[in-house]
Amino acid sequence: MCNFVIQDGHPYAMNKSYILYFLILLLAPFNKIHADGRPEADSVLAVLSKNPNDTAAYIQLDDIINGLFNRDADLAMEIAQKELIIASTANNQIAVGHALLNIGIISDLQGDYQKALNQYARALTIAKEQNYLELQGDIYNNYSITLAVLGQMEESIDNALNALAIYEKMNDSARMAKIYNNLASRYSEMGYVDEALDKYQKAAAINEKLKDNKKLAYNYGNIGLLYYGTDQIEEALSFFQKSIALQDTVKDKYDFSIALHNLGLAYQRLGQYDNALIYERKAYKLAKEVNDDLGVITSLNGMASIYRKTGDEKKALEYFNQSKLIAENIGARYYLINIYENIADIYAGLNDFQNAFIFNQKYNYLKDSILTTEKDKAVQKITEYESEKKQAEIQLLTKDSEIQKLNIRRQKTIRNSLGIVGGLFLLIAVGLFHRYRYVRKTRNELSEKNKIINKEKERSDELLLNILPAETAEELKNTGQSEARHFDSVTVMFTDFKGFTQMAEKLTPQELVSEIDHCFKIFDEIIEKYNIEKIKTIGDAYMCAGGLPVPNKTHPEDVVRAALDIQKKMEDIKKERIKNGKPFFELRLGIHTGPVVAGIVGTKKFQYDIWGDTVNIAARMESSGEVGKVNISEFTFQSIKEKFKCQYRGKVEAKGKGEIDMYFVDSIKK
């Protein structure tokens, strides 16, 4: 089986070249940005620190950040976060929205899709409040791309159509090219090759007119992939070569990696396996250099496919397994369809029918979920959008026709009876005028009330998101209830202040609450950084968990990193308060990893909570810990021992649980 074909002969839908164009969509071309970007960024940030409402400076900073997306994502993230701090401090909401969008795009490129979606949601709220259509369209476009990688095709199409409606309203040709590319990719993923080709050609026509060679290179590459998927290899190779000819192959390693991979596909289909392997290896090397996980996945799949065709099944399995681990780790569900199918076929060929059955089940589950259920929903979205658009056009034409008929009739009446009914006509005209004023006033009042209702709805949604995780809140709004869920593995953290009673005696109630609130806000910021869900606070105790409501593989490491940051921050606060002669809190902190049940309790005041022995053991980890230390259980230690230096405490008596192996986390391994 060809590695990049799923069904009906269309190319493997989530080849990374389909995705890249849209993520690198804002503002400046790369060849205008310094290779490092830091000197320019520092200069612009200095300007903004003096004048945080300098629009031109924000645009320049966004240019720099966009130029660093695929060269130095860490530096781009650092600059974007500084931009967010400056804009937030100045309450410059438009700049805040752009900074959040930048952070979301960088998170997507780094494979942190949940963080990307969270940032897009925050940015979209601001864009709607400010009625900033351009930013709304860009957010919807990027929402669509990230959701497509996660296999949520219905929501991806819905957001793409939202962006399309906005760009059509703005009559923005450059952005129309973006959304044509996006929709073309979604059409291709669903097997509609003709529709995809039409949209890609429309995008190419716009970019040719704008002389935007960088974006045109993406158009040619994507058109080549469509021809590749329909076995028109010579045409595909021609477009791949045209794409490379338009690229800066020295500076834009990210783009060049895509082009090399595409050439590898073409030569593989032509049976020139040595050439194909050369191009795939070069593409893989460049993807590794720029930390492009999706590029690494597609190149590994390409090399695996070549080895299969040359009869080396074991080598092919090795490469597919490497690809599988990366795709599972970053949650790239769409890529996993093809990977699981190929692994199942290889195991079957090796007579390992147990593993073949396991991976075939995984393949069938994802295929049914994404390529059947999600595809049907997405097609319905497109059909509804096109139907509504046509209906609006018909209504407009009908209205114009009726107006013309009325005008003709009115003119005839006036011409035949002007002398007789002149006075009556004037009276009617006055009445119509007053009627018009009344209707317009009523319409304006209704419009204002709708705005108020929509604003209140958005506020209520925001309040709900402050109480419940986004996924749970959405389920509650859609169905009126939320089902409890079992999670096989989450990491729970408890904290508690030592000496709270003594502090309460020294401080007024207002001061005590203020100090606790200050600390908990710091905790909130830290756990948000690591995608950890806050569960609740009880008095001076704080509880959070990683790995829910969206499961992930990194939750033990995420929670331990957050715990180290929290203890470091508490130590800094302690030093500052000692220096000023004020009392201070000291913190015990405990962590345990295991299964839990999560869900909503209450009917009027909702509370998202978790239950299970894992929660109880995590609480014992905290009570058995020491001030300033991160105390973890054996289960958590086994998950993080490769990345952290830990000190074994031995078996420690835990109330109600007997003796438990415990460890102190000292630091991160270098």
**pLDDT per residue over 628-640, tens digit each?**
999 999 999 999 9
Q: Range of 521's domain?
A: 481-668
**pLDDT per residue over 578-606, tens digit each?**
898 888 888 999 999 999 998 876 655 66
- What is the pLDDT averaged over residues 130-136? 90
**Average pLDDT of every residue of the chain:** 79
Query: Given this model, what pLDDT does residue 432 score?
Result: 60
**pLDDT per residue over 458-505, tens digit each?**
665 555 455 566 565 565 555 555 677 899 999 999 999 887 777 777
Query: Given this model, what pLDDT does residue 369 score?
Result: 64
- What is the pLDDT averaged over residues 336-348? 88
For residues 436 and 557, state if they share a domain: no
Find the CATH number of the domain harbouring 604: 3.30.70.1230
Q: Which of 300-314, 378-392, 421-435 has the lowest mean pLDDT?
A: 378-392
For residues 515 and 652, state if they share a domain: yes
* Listed residues 156, 171, 186: the one ending a domain: 171
Torsion angle (degrees, nearest 10) of CA 533, 536, 537, 542: -40
| Cα distance between residue 439 and residue 416, in whole Å | 30
Query: Given this model, what pLDDT does residue 253 score?
Result: 76
For residues 299 and 209, state if they share a domain: no
For residues 146 and 184, state if they share a domain: no
- Start-to-end CA span in the chain (Å): 43
For residues 181 and 151, state if they share a domain: no
Find the CATH number of the domain harbouring 183: 1.25.40
Q: Which of 411-420, 426-435, 479-488 has the lowest mean pLDDT?
A: 411-420
Query: Given this model, what pLDDT does residue 37 score?
Result: 66
Q: CA 83 → CA 26, 86, 212, 250, 337, distances in Å?
A: 16, 5, 28, 29, 38
Higher pLDDT, 474 or 647: 647
Query: Given this model, what pLDDT does residue 416 score?
Result: 58
**pLDDT per residue over 184-212, tens digit each?**
887 777 777 888 888 888 888 988 888 88
- What is the pLDDT averaged over residues 122-147? 90
- What is the pLDDT averaged over residues 144-165? 82
Which among 21, 79, 74, 83 has a CA at the least distance from the CA of 52? 83
For residues 165 and 188, state if they share a domain: no
- What is the pLDDT averaged over residues 337-365? 86
Query: Given this model, what pLDDT does residue 344 score?
Result: 87
Query: Given this model, what pLDDT does residue 320 score?
Result: 92
- Under 8 Å between Cβ of 632 and 560: yes
Is there a domain that residue 318 lies in?
yes
Higher pLDDT, 472 or 9: 472
Is there a domain that residue 615 lies in?
yes
Find the CATH number of the domain harbouring 44: 1.25.40.10
DSSP per-residue string spanning 571-585: HHHHHHHHHTT----
Is there a domain that residue 86 lies in?
yes
Is there a domain that residue 160 lies in?
yes
- What is the pLDDT averaged over residues 138-157? 83
Among positive and negative, which fits the CA dihedral 33, 39, 42, 48? negative
For residues 226 and 251, state if they share a domain: no
Q: Which residues contact 510 (CB under 8 A, 6 or more apart)?
A: none
Is there a domain that residue 474 lies in?
no
For residues 23 and 155, state if they share a domain: yes
For residues 148 and 187, state if they share a domain: no
- Count the domains in the chain: 5
Q: Which of 229-233, 369-373, 627-631, 649-653 has the lowest mean pLDDT?
A: 369-373
Is there a domain that residue 391 lies in?
no
- What is the pLDDT averaged over residues 346-371? 81
Is there a domain that residue 109 lies in?
yes
When pLDDT is cut at 50, 70 and 90, the band that residue 567 belongs to is very high
Most confidently predicted of 263-267, 391-395, 400-404: 263-267
pLDDT at 3 over 50: no
| Cα distance between residue 518 and residue 510, in whole Å | 12
For residues 452 and 534, state if they share a domain: no
- Under 8 Å between Cβ of 37 and 68: yes
Query: Given this model, what pLDDT does residue 640 score?
Result: 93
Angle between helix axes 133-149 and 173-189 (nearest 10 degrees) is 20
- What is the pLDDT averaged over residues 338-362? 86
For residues 450 and 563, state if they share a domain: no
Higher pLDDT, 624 or 434: 624
**pLDDT per residue over 290-325, tens digit each?**
888 888 998 999 899 999 999 999 998 999 999 989
DSSP per-residue string spanning 77-122: HHHHHHHHHHHHHTT-HHHHHHHHHHHHHHHHHTT-HHHHHHHHHH
For residues 351 and 462, state if they share a domain: no
Burial of 213 (0-12, 13-18, 19+ CB in 10 A): middle
Query: Given this model, what pLDDT does residue 593 score?
Result: 95
pLDDT at 523 over 90: yes
Higher pLDDT, 17 or 252: 252
Is there a domain that residue 610 lies in?
yes
* Listed residues 171, 192, 225: the one ending a domain: 171
Distance, C-alpha 201 to centroid of its chain: 27
| Cα distance between residue 47 and residue 75, in whole Å | 19
Q: Reply yes or no: is the peptide bond before residue 551 cis, omega within 30 of 0.
A: no
**Residue 459 tokens, joined:** 């506020």
